[in-house]
Amino acid sequence: MTAEGSAVVTVNCLVAAVLINAALVKLASPDRLLRALRELIASDSVLGPSAVRLAAVVELTAGLGLMSTATIKAASLVAATLGIGFGILGLAGWLTRSKVPCGCIGGHSDRPLGKTNVSIGLLIALVLPVNTLIKLEPATSVAYSQWTLGATALASLAICAWLNRSASLGFLKPVETRWEEGVSR
Amino acid sequence: MMEIAFGLVLLILSAAVVLLFAMFGELASRVPDRNSAAAKSRVQPVDGALIGRTPERWPTSLSHLADADVGLLLVLSTSCASCRQVAKQLSAELVRNGAGRIDILVSSASRDFGEDFVQQHGLGRIPYFVDEGGDWVKNEFGVMISPTGLVFKKGRLDAALLFQDLAALQAAAISAPLAEVARR
């Protein structure tokens, strides 16, 4: 694979991993983002968990679409739209000094919508110009899918490990320091 | 094709791991934080405690509880982290206000561990009983969890309260129907 092809694989893998992680966490736990969005738009009548899960399905589809040359263009467009959407939400959270943790990108930190979302949204949106400007040769499509599937899986695991590092490290601590109420025998 | 199938399997496995962590996070967010101020000041009754029971026999060091109008016995264990915190609070309370009328029971795998716990936290001035294996407190009052505060009225168990903060336990013990604790 050429240097340009490698760049496309790298960018698409990272974006796909971010989208897949964010989508899976939203599917399992939509409430955090919902609370953050309700704080932002000051209304609880429009949005429900099903709306967040629908957005998660779109994210998941876009992430998976980036892994095949047949669907890469459409997936780039959807991913870029989502990225711009994340950026706008982050900007809105930043300007309104949002305080509700959003659980964004699959994290469980207390960080609300803000600058990080703007940055990540813009990085996700970059996938469209990258895939538009750099054309992959038709012959590389199988190799592309081979690389992206494996690399996205590893990137996804790395993101998950990083975002859940404090919870994971908690398991490595001695039991006594975590166990607060001991049985007396 | 094999490489694509392998990549697909790897992706599905990593998605499962991500999903597992997502569900773990959701579960963790529903559990109250044990270290929060609210959790630390919470005092709650111990399930299964034999309220109203008068023990058949008292350990010698705690025998005065049989006749006392009101008594407070702290059940601590050498194997629980909260108990060490309570022991430190009690030690500080001793320095500030003296021993008062609090007694302690240390549940421990062996007498030596229990004695070490008492000495390590400077609680030797308080009447204490090392309950090996926690057998006495379990058999007499059905209490198998620590730290617990047992409130006695004339030797009869009046309340068994799970706590993490000594001041919160004392405040709860003062409230009705345990008002005599405050007046003793």
Chain A's closest residue to B12, CA to CA, is A153
Q: Are strands B102-108 and B70-77 parallel, antiparallel or unpaired?
A: parallel
Predicted local confidence at residue B115, as pLDDT: 92
| Residues 6 or more apart whose Cβ sits within 8 Å of residue A21 | A105, A106, A156, A159, A160, A163, B18
Give the total residue count for chain A.
185
Low-confidence stretches of chain B (pLDDT beneath 50): 176, 178-184
Q: Which residues of chain A make contact with B28, given a CB cutoff of 8 A?
A: 108, 167
**What does the alpha-carbon distance between residue A7 and residue B128 come to, in Å, rounded to a whole number?**
71
- A115 — pLDDT class (breaks 50, 70, 90): confident
pLDDT digits (tens, 9 = 90+) for B26-70: 787 777 666 666 667 788 888 888 998 899 889 998 888 888 888
Predicted local confidence at residue A142, as pLDDT: 75
Q: In what order do the strands lie in the sheet with B44-45?
A: B44-45, B156-162, B148-153, B70-77, B102-108, B128-132
pLDDT digits (tens, 9 = 90+) for A9-55: 899 999 999 999 999 988 888 888 888 888 777 665 567 888 889 99
B75 contacts A29? CB cut-off 8 A: no
Dmax over CA atoms of chain B, in Å, equals 83
Please say if the pLDDT value at position A65 is more than 90: yes
Predicted local confidence at residue A151, as pLDDT: 92
A153 contacts B10? CB cut-off 8 A: yes
Interface of B with A (CB under 8 A): 3-4, 6-8, 10-11, 13-15, 17-19, 21-26, 28-29, 34, 75, 77, 79-83, 107, 131, 133-135, 137-138, 143-148, 162, 164
Count of A-B CB contacts under 8 Å: 125
**What does the alpha-carbon distance between residue B145 and residue A155 come to, in Å, rounded to a whole number?**
44
**What does the alpha-carbon distance between residue B61 and residue B105 come to, in Å, rounded to a whole number?**
10
Distance from the Cα of A19 to chain B's closest Cα (Å) equals 11
pLDDT digits (tens, 9 = 90+) for A128-178: 999 888 877 766 777 888 888 999 999 999 999 888 887 777 666 654 433
Type of residue found at A97: R
Q: What is the ipTM of this complex?
A: 0.80
